[in-house]
Structure 1
Amino acid sequence: MRPVDEHVGEAVSLVERLTSESVPLEDAYRRVLAEPAVARDDGPPFDNSAMDGYAVRRADATAGATLPLAADIAAGSGLPDALAHGHAARIMTGAPVPSGADAVVPVEKATLGSDSVTIDVAPSEGAHIRRRGEDTRAGDEVVAPGTVLGPWQLAAVASAGYGTVSVTRRPRVAVLATGDELVDPGSTPGAGQISDSNSTLLAALVRDYGGVPVVLPRAGDAPGAVSATLAGIDADLIVTAGGASVGAYDPVKADLIDRGVTFHAVAMQPGKPQGLGLVDGTPIACLPGNPVSVAATFAVVVAPMMRRLLGVATPRGYTARAGSTWRTPSGRAQYLPAVVDAGGAVHPATPRGSQSHLVASLARGRLLAVVPASVDEVHPGDTVGLMSMSLEGTP
């Protein structure tokens, strides 16, 4: 059997990072930053107040001192005049601190009069002043390329002065489920038929990993059906489900084995029968047909291809302790749909383990527990790997 690392290495070698495009910031959610976002000004761009209160000179603002109010300074009102000795200025949160002031006294630590303020608690040096550039300096890299832009990252890009941002083009991923036994979800299966969950699963996974799914019409088991369906496809990657094993009716393998696709028995469970190659120059990953196998092989094999297309770094590995006992397949790495309990321990998502047809286990699972091929059985307290089902790779 082919080692998993070798198979993944070949898969990643089939693809290259896509080109970039510029989009408005409001359209950049979950896109991948293609170029560094560099601060265009200091952040904050001026000293400003962190509190509603009174800008003062500390030398004047001793406890019990009463100071005449020289000004009201609101956020967005422009730069104020310098603060004269012996005076205070009422100031709002975010408003620029006048030159000469070296502290802000919060409103709850002062008593306001008609045209003066009495300091109840003397401030410390620099109290409640946000200094210019204490977050970023002009020219600092604020967000690195290859970052998936979530809400926090988008806020940082906006604060750096960007209204548009350069992101990697979304990969177009053609997904193809095969099998005469499949029928549309929601229809009534006939004898020997089942609902097609793989088309839905693959399309959703492609979206989760930053791509645009192109769902192709299902291909049956007749010779030539797969090739006919793939003819003229405009995609950056093709992913098929089913028909890649050694059975008498494996149309993906039968149609593509002479067209540049190589099929392997990969040392993983679930997901042993797989294929990789190029079809008319387009990279293709041929996955098994059982839904848990599809989910696992997508996470292990296709997800690294998606990250390469988008320019996202390989995520670091995570581990946790097992909270249950379960068997693992001899000589194959196991990728088990799993849940994590309140104490942080990992358990199989279903008591029946990682059997590849148990599609309901995917609804309960939140990640994959990864067990090396050298392990035959997992016991409570053992360390297992964790693999997420997200582009960022966080569990």
Structure 2
Amino acid sequence: MISVDEALERILKSVRPLGSERVALAEAARRVLAEDVCAKLFNPAFDVSAMDGYAVRAEDVQPGVTLRMIGASQAGAGFDGTVGPGQCARIFTGAPVPSGADAVIMQEETRAEGDAITFECDVAPGRSIRFRGEDFGQGDVLVAAGAALDPRKIALAAAGNVADVAVSVRPRVALLATGDELVAPGGVVGPDQIVASNSVGLGAFFTGHGAQVRDLGIVADDRDVLGDALGRALAEKPDILLTTGGASVGEHDFVQDMLKANGVDIDFWRIAMRPGKPLMLGRTGKTVVFGLPGNPVSALVTARIFVLPAVLKMMGGTLPAALYLPLAEDLPPNGPRRHFMRGRLVSDAERGTQVEPIRQTDSGHLSSLASADVLIVQDENCSGKARGEIIAAHLL
């Protein structure tokens, strides 16, 4: 049995980035950038008004002064003239600031009588103007390589006039569930059977992180049948093969033997953690194989802690940093295995955001995992933590 840290080190040594491809920006959500995205223009491209009002020379304006309106500037149709002494121009939000003007006064601070505009305030140069390049300049790095593209970053790239981006190739993840007791969701559940939730949950998890997922179904606890199914799965050369169940040492746990029979070199298969001790890592050719526990909480927790870092490294990305938060309640002592305890984020005006341990620790108790926001990291042989102490937590 090896430590969590050693397991992670071995896993990350076994994977490498998969290369890159170019895709349309509109199709790049959740993809990881393989190259920096740089702006192709300035934003704003020219000085623009942040208000509906009047473009003025600041030195001409004081309470009670009246200026003559000589034209109008609107978005997509700027005013070609120059604002001179004693003059102003009508202007709308997003419109170019006319030559000669250096401030904008919103219309609520004026009175208009035809072309005579009376102002009711003082103004400093630059008021209510968004200056050329204020957001970013041509050639600026908008999004750095290694970032996952979310809606905000995609909008920023689009504003920089970027139409396509270089992104990392998405890992192909194959899922194979094992167990005589399993029935697919929606099926007829016999008296000794349970619904198979692992592949559905894992598929959603890795799809949400940018992988291409293929569910290979459920295989019975039969050596020959399992061996054939694993052979077919490995023949497709996925980047990652995930099996669930059958990775322990019971009389019907055949996964490890059948992987070896199909040419998989096993690196390790037990981790000093809970939930999820029977985690297996192997490799054949370009395919990294993970044997995850069959208990649904254990499967999802080990996927988050161990498989996700491998997926992200293949895509050239990195894991989000751990959160460090005060405990909302005391944490009891822990044994020799690192505990990834389910936790909720709670917040109030007095104490800010804290993490509340969920006391349910059964590895088959999915409702408690579904209600969790984070996995609290409690180190091996921890003597316990008092309410208010800072502890690390991984977002789910």
TM-score when normalising by structure 2: 0.93
Whether 1:244 aligns to 2:247 is yes
Task: Verify the 8 A CA contact 2:169 2:315 in the aligned structure 1.
Answer: yes
Task: Verify the 8 A CA contact 2:182 2:196 in the aligned structure 1.
Answer: yes
Q: 2:375 aligns with which of 356, 368, 383?
A: 368
- Residue 291 of structure 1 and its aligned partner are, at CA, apart by 0.6
- CA distance, structure 2, for counterparts of residue 119 and residue 366 of structure 1: 54
Q: What code does the residue aligned with 1:364 have?
A: S
> Which residue number in structure 1 is paired with residue 72 of structure 2?
72
- Residue 257 of structure 1 and its aligned partner are, at CA, apart by 3.6
> Which residue number in structure 2 is paired with residue 356 of structure 1?
363
- CA distance, structure 2, for counterparts of residue 226 and residue 154 of structure 1: 43
> Which residue number in structure 2 is paired with residue 346 of structure 1?
355
- Residue 110 of structure 1 and its aligned partner are, at CA, apart by 1.0
Task: Verify the 8 A CA contact 2:72 2:79 in the aligned structure 1.
Answer: no
- Residue 267 of structure 1 and its aligned partner are, at CA, apart by 0.9
- Residue 38 of structure 1 and its aligned partner are, at CA, apart by 0.6
Q: 2:388 aligns with which of 358, 381, 395?
A: 381
- CA distance, structure 1, for counterparts of residue 19 and residue 268 of structure 2: 30
> Which residue number in structure 2 is paired with residue 289 of structure 1?
294
* 1:14-50 CA distance string (max 9 Å, x none): 2211222222222222222221111112221111111
Q: In angstroms, what is the RMSD of aligned CA positions?
A: 1.7
Q: What code does the residue aligned with 1:245 have?
A: S
> Which residue number in structure 2 is paired with residue 393 of structure 1?
none
Q: 2:339 aligns with which of 331, 334, 339?
A: 334
- CA distance, structure 2, for counterparts of residue 91 and residue 210 of structure 1: 45
* 1:278-304 CA distance string (max 9 Å, x none): 134311111111011011101110010
- CA distance, structure 2, for counterparts of residue 371 and residue 378 of structure 1: 9
> Which residue number in structure 2 is paired with residue 36 of structure 1?
36
Q: 2:266 aligns with which of 250, 261, 281?
A: 261
Q: 2:306 aligns with which of 277, 301, 306?
A: 301
How many pairs were matched up?
A: 387
- CA distance, structure 1, for counterparts of residue 276 and residue 217 of structure 2: 23
Task: Verify the 8 A CA contact 1:331 1:374 in the aligned structure 2.
Answer: yes
Partner-residue secondary structure (3-state), 1:272: coil
- Residue 62 of structure 1 and its aligned partner are, at CA, apart by 2.4
- CA distance, structure 2, for counterparts of residue 327 and residue 56 of structure 1: 67
Q: What code does the residue aligned with 1:127 have?
A: R
Alignment gaps of 5+ in structure 2:
none
Q: What code does the residue aligned with 2:356 have?
A: H
> Which residue number in structure 2 is paired with residue 148 of structure 1?
148
Task: Verify the 8 A CA contact 2:327 2:388 in the aligned structure 1.
Answer: yes
| Shift in CA distance, 247/376, structure 1 to aligned 2, threshold 3 Å | farther
- CA distance, structure 2, for counterparts of residue 141 and residue 79 of structure 1: 32
- CA distance, structure 1, for counterparts of residue 199 and residue 355 of structure 2: 29
* 1:229-264 CA distance string (max 9 Å, x none): 232224221111111111111121121245312333
Q: What code does the residue aligned with 1:31 have?
A: R
* 1:290-334 CA distance string (max 9 Å, x none): 011011101110010011011112322212222234545411110
Task: Verify the 8 A CA contact 2:52 2:107 in the aligned structure 1.
Answer: yes
Task: Verify the 8 A CA contact 1:206 1:213 in the aligned structure 2.
Answer: yes
Partner-residue secondary structure (3-state), 1:84: coil
* Identity rate, percent: 37
- CA distance, structure 2, for counterparts of residue 113 and residue 100 of structure 1: 23
Partner-residue secondary structure (3-state), 1:224: helix
- Residue 111 of structure 1 and its aligned partner are, at CA, apart by 1.0
Partner-residue secondary structure (3-state), 1:338: strand
> Which residue number in structure 2 is paired with residue 205 of structure 1?
205
- CA distance, structure 2, for counterparts of residue 113 and residue 31 of structure 1: 56
Q: What code does the residue aligned with 2:41 have?
A: D
| Shift in CA distance, 209/40, structure 1 to aligned 2, threshold 3 Å | same
Alignment gaps of 5+ in structure 1:
390-395
> Which residue number in structure 2 is paired with residue 392 of structure 1?
none
Task: Verify the 8 A CA contact 1:57 1:100 in the aligned structure 2.
Answer: yes
- Residue 102 of structure 1 and its aligned partner are, at CA, apart by 1.0
> Which residue number in structure 1 is paired with residue 45 of structure 2?
45
> Which residue number in structure 2 is paired with residue 317 of structure 1?
322
Q: Which structure 2 residues correspond to residues 58-207 of structure 1 after superposition, within 5 A?
A: 58-78=58-78, 80-207=80-207
| Shift in CA distance, 116/297, structure 1 to aligned 2, threshold 3 Å | same
Partner-residue secondary structure (3-state), 1:342: strand
- Residue 376 of structure 1 and its aligned partner are, at CA, apart by 4.3
Q: What code does the residue aligned with 1:247 have?
A: G
Name whichever of 311-320 and 154-163 sits farther off. 311-320
Name whichever of 44-53 and 31-40 sits farther off. 31-40
Q: What code does the residue aligned with 1:152 have?
A: R
Q: What code does the residue aligned with 1:235 have?
A: P
| Shift in CA distance, 233/40, structure 1 to aligned 2, threshold 3 Å | same
Task: Verify the 8 A CA contact 1:225 1:251 in the aligned structure 2.
Answer: no
Whether 1:272 aligns to 2:277 is yes
